[in-house]
Amino acid sequence: MKTLKHLAALCAALFLTTAAFGQTARMHLNGTLQNMHLWRGQQVADGGVLAADLNVGLLDDKLKVGLWGGTDFTGDYKEFDYYVSYSVAGFTVAVWDIFNYSPALPFSKDIFNYNKHSTGHFLDLSVAYDFDTKFEVPLRLYWATIFAGRDLNQAGRNRYSTYVNAEYSLFRDEHWIVDVGLGGTFAFNRDGADGGANFYGYDGIDQISLRATYKLKLGRFDMPVFAHAMWNPDQRAGYLQVGVNLFAF
């Protein structure tokens, strides 16, 4: 009952906020089709994935409140997330409630379960800065820390696992964008039994990436296609992801 009250309060707050901004609120819907799902150096799903992002933008889209979800074609991967983000002067701050309820994961599939010892949720706080906004340098820095949920050390306390990333655009023109990236992970609160483990694996470099995007247009519709090569030195693994942005409204 307590969880349902919190959920109702959240829904009411979102409704009242949207109503207060009136016509300045903008709805957005995006859809992506890709051959696998890669995230922060991890292969989250190894089959074809359809993902969608539905959000409302306020304050000229500086503030966004949204839902993100994805599933693969076999039902082995299922995810449903909530988020809020605010962007200004090149900075973006975001909080995500990430809920991966894939059948094989050993966590509760109850979306209302927030008990840290059994929940399928984890809460993630991120800060990013895009140097291109002010300095015309195509560099983006990103920091994200898991601050609650299913990220516990052997003592049952939150590890505060952290992911950091730098991305740089090597090439841009009217048709192509080519980016490279480097990411790493660590945890603030491990105990001796963890042996250097964090939410993503072990401390160190976990992502080396090369991504090329072609700005495909079909009539009056923009449908960018991309190829993303990613290597994870920690897991000694590599992946090639391809996909298309099906729509963006």
Sort 33 into a burial class: Cβ within 10 Å, 0-12 / 13-18 / 19+: middle
pLDDT digits (tens, 9 = 90+) for 50-79: 999 999 999 999 999 999 999 999 999 999
Q: What are the residues whose beta carbons fall under 8 Å from the beta carbon of 14, sequence distance 6 or more?
A: 56, 65
Instruction: Please write down the long-range contacts of 162-167, taking CB distance under 8 Å and 24 or more positions apart.
Output: 162/186, 162/187, 162/188, 162/198, 163/40, 163/41, 163/200, 163/206, 165/40, 165/141, 165/207, 166/139, 166/140, 166/141, 166/142, 167/139, 167/140, 167/142, 167/209
User: What pLDDT, on a 0 to 100 scale, did the predictor assign at position 171?
Assistant: 96
Give me the percent of the chain exceeding a pLDDT of 90: 84
More confident residue, 102 or 6: 102
Domain ranges within the chain, ordered by starting residue = 2-19+26-248
* pLDDT single digits (tens) 130-151: 999 999 999 999 999 999 999 9
Amino acid at 32: T
Distance of CA 223 to CAs 119, 226, 247, Å? 37, 10, 7
pLDDT at 5 over 50: no
Q: How confident is the model at residue 190 (pLDDT cuts 50, 70, 90)?
A: confident
The residue-averaged pLDDT of 200-206 equals 94
pLDDT tens for residues 87-111? Answer: 999 999 999 999 999 999 999 999 9
pLDDT range class, residue 1, cuts 50, 70, 90 = very low
Least confident of 92-101, 191-200, 205-214: 191-200
Sign of the torsion angle spanned by Cα atoms 98, 117, 4, 17: negative
So what's the pLDDT on residue 195?
74
The confidence score (pLDDT) of residue 10 equals: 53
- Burial of residue 38 (number of CB atoms within 10 Å: 0-12, 13-18, 19+): buried
Around Cβ 116, how many Cβ atoms within 10 Å?
16
pTM: 0.90
Mean pLDDT for 1-15 is 51
Cα separations (Å) of 238 from 57, 59, 216, 249?
36, 40, 26, 33
Domain 2-19+26-248, CATH class in plain words: mainly beta
Q: What is the pLDDT of residue 4?
A: 46
CB atoms within 10 A of CB 146: 24
* Cβ 123 vs Cβ 97: under 8 Å: yes
In the structure, what pLDDT confidence band is assigned to residue 229 with cuts at 50, 70 and 90?
very high
> What percent of the chain has pLDDT above 70?
90
